[in-house]
A and B are shown apart, each in its own frame.
Chain A
Amino acid sequence: MDFRRFRGTDTYLTSSALESAVNCALALERPLLVRGEPGTGKTQLAEAIASALGVRLIHWPVKSTTRAQDGLYVYDTVQRLYDSRFGDGDVKDIRRYIKYGPLGQAFASRERVVLLIDEVDKADLEFPNDLLHELDRMRFVVSETGDEIVARERPAVVITSNAEKELPDAFLRRCVFHFIEFPEKDLMARIVRVHHPDLDEKLLAQALQAFYSLREVDGLRKRPSTSELIDWIAVLRRAGIASVELEAGMPFLGALLKREQDLIAFAEASMRGRRPRA
């Protein structure tokens, strides 16, 4: 077998299903589509793969205005126009005004890279379809110059999506899919220990208890996730708090619940005296 198996890294813990999905994607040279709740470490997964393979990571954060073309290259017409008017540089050489986007850089790179297309669902609904051809063939033509950019080493492509939008079927069919589940308590405890290695066991147990109860509160719009838990524990330690209990009032609740409605929902749940289900 000529590919390196992914087993997670020291700072990124995986499940066996996730490892299987990553290895499938690497072996079959398909994009890996990762979905899951915000804060479950979708973006970090790409970083972990890059560091496990020992290659460079190219990050392409997708925004609502991003077009597929931006990922390949941009022809900077305005700059060329400006130069032609004010006479800076060689205007005849179009190549000077072709700027590669993240996908273009990944293809042009001499060695293998990991390309992260982050939050693909943020862009227009047709965006994923526009990428299909290039991701399949791993090549594209710069139409202004006629140059063809071919990937020497197929980049490992990781695509994340917040499950906000349905992605097109044709796109989904080409991807290896993994849904990151919210970690169970045991895994969460291991994850927290990675970030806070010298954390007191008692505080960890209490924090997890409070955290999982909080996630069960009815009517939360954004349930707190792993990253919020890690931040919250950091705050607790910084403040020197040694014990937390949900019933006794949660310190630094704002680190876990970021929306005003959620704070209200939590207050109401507590007021009703109905302890949130643990």
Chain B
Amino acid sequence: MFVPFLYELRDRGVKVGAQEALSLAEALALGLHKGTLDGFYEVARALCVHREQDLDAFDRAFAHHFRGVPDEALALTDEILAWLEQPAGRRKLTELERQLLERLDLAEARERLRQRLSEQRERHDRGNRWVGTAGTSPHGSGGFHPTGIKVGEAPGGKGALEVAADRRFRDLRSDVTLDTRHIEVALRRLRAFVREGVLSELDVESTIDKTARNAGELEIALRPPRRSNLRVLLLLDVGGSMDPHADVCERLFSAAKRATHFKELRTYYFHNCVYGRVYETAALIRGADVLQVVQDCDPSWRLIVVGDALMSPWELQSSGSRWSFSDDSGAPGIAWLAHLAQHFPHAAWLNPEPQAAWYGTAEVIRRVFPMYRLTQDGLLEAVQRLMRGGNRH
């Protein structure tokens, strides 16, 4: 009887399987839910949810399954409230987006909105893309007034359905934008241990071995401690369309700087696309030759590029700088990117834009670099890829 509910959970990305189904059946057989829906809510939550990031999805599934709270309505108000909180942070639109906006009529905008909501979405500090789309578009803004949307609230006591509809756990979702702590935790996985350096640790095995060989006379063996030996090259896109994401990039940068387990970390900045030079500061001064950087960093370095991969196609296809690639003919941006990807087999591109916005140039770059969202989940996937190594070509 609860099996359809488990499928509802799976549809919302809560990983439940046979094990959870069996435990739940056992718990119900033991009467742990005390025969009530509230009891079932608590028991099912304890057994089906394994991380607090999934609590919100569980609440939504529960509310939907057992009453059918219109959860699109809930999600809509969420986003719009978030947008209303900070109306000042609206961004300037790029030419590409402006063109896109003009093509949308109201019905399309609504549909897009709904579509976005059903996918992963994020709540930026300053209005995110779809809010921007809806908010700044002359067609879309009128329709989504918060008072126009029904929120799933019911009068009376706090039963499980009300609790579920309250959605108190939405702040814990893992697809919202990262804070520094999350980034640090994700980056902590980026490590590779080796024994190197001063002999400062007692090697028991080898001490015993040596002592035995020495006919019982104690002979101490030492070894160097285990240390992480990972080097990271971080390339950050700054300016223009990246301005709304400056905060999250800043957080990623500071977390990477603080990470003590990198043997070495190098950070460079670029604008839109990497050409012959990258820069040591966000103001794009003190340039460094990309070929020199590639020469300094051997292929064991992990390369992380952060950017929205959004630019005019000509920026990718024509040579944006007079520095040449191998001869004086000048190489287009995509060739520089391909060169980096080829040199660093352990590379990942982090994109702060939602996946729905990865079109045009982003699509092209995705073929060169494995691309991940700059969210907690995306960052973890990227780190896993960096540790596993090997690009997908």
Contacts and interface: CB of A to CB of B under 8 A. Distances in A.
A79 to B, nearest CB: 11
B211 A81 contact: yes
Interface residues of A, number: 34
B168 A77 contact: no
Given A28-B26, A177-B50, A20 B32 contact: yes
A28 B45 CA distance: 15
A77 B27 CA distance: 45
A78 B211 CA distance: 12
Contacts of A84: 216
B37 interface: no
B392 interface: no
B15 interface: yes
Contact of B189 (A1, A125, A173): A125
Nearest to B46: A21
- Listed residue (A33, A174, A177) with the most chain B CB atoms within 10 angstroms of its CB: A177
Contacts, number: 80
Interface stretch (A41-49, A159-167, A189-197): A159-167
B51 to A, nearest CB: 6
Interface in B335-393: 380
Contact of A81 (B23, B32, B218): B218
A169 B46 contact: no
Given A28-B26, A85-B218, A173 B49 contact: no
Interface string B47-58: 101111001000
Given A17-B42, A28-B27, A166 B51 contact: yes
B297 interface: no
A141 B39 CA distance: 40
Interface of A: 1, 16-17, 20-21, 23-25, 27-28, 30, 33, 35, 77-78, 81, 84-85, 125, 163-167, 169, 172-179, 181
A1 B29 CA distance: 11
B52 A20 contact: no
Contact of A165 (B46, B50, B188): B188
A181 to B, nearest CB: 7
B43 A20 contact: yes
A35 B181 CA distance: 16
Given A1-B31, A17-B42, A81-B207, A24 B218 contact: no
Contacts of A28: 23, 26-27, 30
A32 B335 CA distance: 53
A166 B185 contact: yes
Given A28-B26, A81-B211, A175 B204 contact: no
A178 B46 contact: yes
23 contacts: A1-B30, A1-B31, A16-B38, A16-B42, A17-B45, A17-B46, A20-B32, A20-B42, A21-B46, A24-B43, A24-B46, A25-B46, A27-B27, A28-B26, A78-B202, A84-B216, A85-B217, A164-B181, A164-B185, A167-B51, A173-B20, A175-B50, A177-B49
A179 B32 contact: no
A176 B15 contact: no
B225 to A, nearest CB: 11
B207 to A, nearest CB: 7
Interface in B51-68: 51-52, 55
B188 A169 contact: no
B19 interface: yes
Given A84-B216, A179-B52, 17 more contacts: A17-B45, A20-B39, A23-B32, A35-B51, A81-B208, A85-B218, A166-B51, A166-B380, A169-B15, A172-B50, A174-B19, A176-B46, A177-B45, A177-B49, A177-B50, A178-B46, A179-B55
A161 B147 CA distance: 40
A27 B230 CA distance: 45
A53 to B, nearest CB: 17
B48 to A, nearest CB: 9
- Listed residue (B32, B185, B207) with the most chain A CB atoms within 10 angstroms of its CB: B32
B156 to A, nearest CB: 17
A167 B50 CA distance: 9
A39 B22 CA distance: 34
Contact of B23 (A30, A77, A163, A165): A30
Contacts of A169: 15, 50
